[in-house]
Structure 1
């Protein structure tokens, strides 16, 4: 399936054999280590992250280094493969810092273009799964630079799982160890318990300067662009799970001696949702392909994907809760995890409204 872009190049929206093999490996791992009961149990504990799951995903499968060049210890793959991993993580809503570390932080470091030095060394550590890095900016906003390594930033997603914080300041981009003196990471109560948030406080902390202010700002912008683009794949996976589980439940649930899924009103609702999910897949794949190929239309592709996919994910999760009836409202059923993740994702890296404004500006249309 292809669609013509503004530049005239047709993106490849289909999955390659390699991508499907990667999907199978990630799905099998998550089925073993991040099934619904396990994820619910971890959200109820003080340790939402499963170190063994992350080790298996990051190093066993090699997913952490997909975007990192082979010469720096990575897989030398593209955003298309990383998008497949995020689709599967969206399907399981597993607490794993993949989007924040292996995509956003990694892409930020890659944008610096360093082949040696501290940025390159950190990339190698991320690719090998030895460290987790998180960009210290609010999860629900664009980059915000503090004046120096002295201030408060939050809420920062997955900061509790991070070994290193990438901190944009007015003086440049710094790498700061989370266990360094004068650094505090304080957990917050989040709507989405599968992606913990925290406040980061830097009280005159010391760090390694990776880039000056201009280069750091460009790198952070690139990291956030990749994050927003591949977040659409996570939202796609989430919506697909919600649709699949809803169809399964309505086939098995009987009322008046008939499957409730045979009622015309519910058929129409699920058919509409299927159409939305198919369209979301096209938008998400287009954004991943644009990032992978360095298309000049990447900002537009990302904005379109986020403007559309966040809405679809929320709608799919809402329908999942409603069409599961009473059981969908219980804590024991995982539907609430998907609704909370969808709601939280809808504000991550810019709301749908902000992305629609971006589309309007890029296409020189009246703003919505």
Structure 2
């Protein structure tokens, strides 16, 4: 059984890496960290022209119509370069529109997204800090053919850059059966977006405050939870792919430094302690690839094990990324803690990935539940 990528997918990888090395060097990453938006619109437009933004969007809506396995290739390279962009939030919003939107909504929204002219995001988390149905309190009251939303969402990915947000709101009673998804325009009356400070300066998050903001139903009323669960699985696999790219890069940096750093007349890489750290990192990287590629395949094929595979991937890759990025700092020694070296940037991204949409412990519990334990 061959689990390798196709020739076309490997060509896509080399093309993406070459593009990002040229268009998004670490100097640009550091520059964008200091800006309000945290990304460069011109670069986003180029990514759209290359088909990355609309990779999963069907051709009839202006996209490439490819699969999540193809997308993983791109996401790995984005994680490798710490690309500052609204891609993660836009991916979730796009998936929600694809899964739940009417044909009219898809035709209105998706071509603009694929062209890079419209950015989406997904707002789910509230004050409790989890994505459980019982913690969603933001209300949406029906008003004619539309809804009015009132409440607050936290940690919205690139909320300040999104043109349209998919908001999970309570339209019915308690539990999962009372959740609906609604489209809210960021520039609409009653919408306030406040950028939030976070450890990872390469990826923006925001607080979304709604005070009677107008919203358009996406999917069936009180039927939004199933869509969110599918979007969450896609987001978990995307985070896992991002973690692989970052883990592989810090491994390469560690091995390179271990060969170059001379101490007492010898490279530090000759010492067993350093060798074994790098070996453990490689094992974690390769194991991360195995579980994430399987999860991406399951997602693309729509198999029953998708939720289980996504949870396993997120649990393992989060731990692996945190550990490899931490070991990268240790192998670099004192300079690994300095601002001038990039070690801390990968460590911060790893910590952000670790807690986004559930930490490793939470996903291990989810795996156990899916195993009926």
Q: TM-score, normalised by structure 2?
A: 0.90
Which of the residues 65, 69, 87 maps onto 1:76?
Answer: 65
- Contact 1:106–1:223 (8 Å) recurs in 2: no
Aligned structure 1 segments of 4 or more residues deviating by more than 3 angstroms: none
In the other structure, the counterpart of 1:6 is: none
- Contact 2:61–2:106 (8 Å) recurs in 1: no
Map 1:228-247 to 2 at 5 A: 228-247=236-255
- Report whether the alignment pairs 1:223 with 2:231: yes
- Contact 1:156–1:199 (8 Å) recurs in 2: yes
Q: What per-residue deviation string (whole Å, max 9, x for no partner) do you get for residues 270-295 of structure 1?
A: 11111111101101111111111111
In the other structure, the counterpart of 2:174 is: none
In the other structure, the counterpart of 2:177 is: none
- Aligned partners of 1:72 and 1:42: how far apart in 2? 31
- Report whether the alignment pairs 1:20 with 2:10: yes
In the other structure, the counterpart of 1:88 is: 77
Cα pair distance change 1:119/1:218, threshold 3 Å: farther
In the other structure, the counterpart of 2:125 is: 138
Deviation at 1:72, TM superposition (A): 1.2
Which of the residues 304, 314, 327 maps onto 1:306?
Answer: 314
- Aligned partners of 2:37 and 2:89: how far apart in 1? 18
Deviation at 1:131, TM superposition (A): 0.6
Q: What per-residue deviation string (whole Å, max 9, x for no partner) do you get for residues 339-361 of structure 1?
A: 01100110112111121112112
Map 1:166-315 to 2 at 5 A: 166-171=166-171, 172-315=180-323
- Contact 1:239–1:317 (8 Å) recurs in 2: yes
Q: What per-residue deviation string (whole Å, max 9, x for no partner) do you get for residues 157-182 of structure 1?
A: 21122111111212332111111121
- Aligned partners of 1:279 and 1:161: how far apart in 2? 34
**What runs of 5+ residues in structure 2 fail to find an aligned partner?**
141-148, 172-179
In the other structure, the counterpart of 1:39 is: 29
Which of the residues 68, 86, 97 maps onto 2:86?
Answer: 97
Which of the residues 17, 25, 46 maps onto 1:56?
Answer: 46
- Contact 1:317–1:342 (8 Å) recurs in 2: yes
Map 1:304-343 to 2 at 5 A: 304-343=312-351
- Aligned partners of 1:52 and 1:326: how far apart in 2? 37
**What runs of 5+ residues in structure 1 fail to find an aligned partner?**
3-11
Which is bigger in relative contact order (C-alpha 8 A, separation at least 6)?
Answer: 1
- Contact 1:134–1:158 (8 Å) recurs in 2: yes
Please state which structure has a larger fraction of its residues in strand: 2
- Aligned partners of 2:303 and 2:196: how far apart in 1? 38
Which segment is superposed worse, 40-49 or 92-101? 40-49
SS in 2 for 1:360: helix
- Aligned partners of 2:371 and 2:77: how far apart in 1? 32
In the other structure, the counterpart of 1:7 is: none
Q: TM-score, normalised by structure 1?
A: 0.92
Deviation at 1:335, TM superposition (A): 1.2
- Aligned partners of 1:68 and 1:125: how far apart in 2? 11
- Contact 1:170–1:213 (8 Å) recurs in 2: no
Deviation at 1:185, TM superposition (A): 0.7
Which of the residues 84, 97, 106 maps onto 1:109?
Answer: 97
Aligned length: 352
Deviation at 1:337, TM superposition (A): 1.0
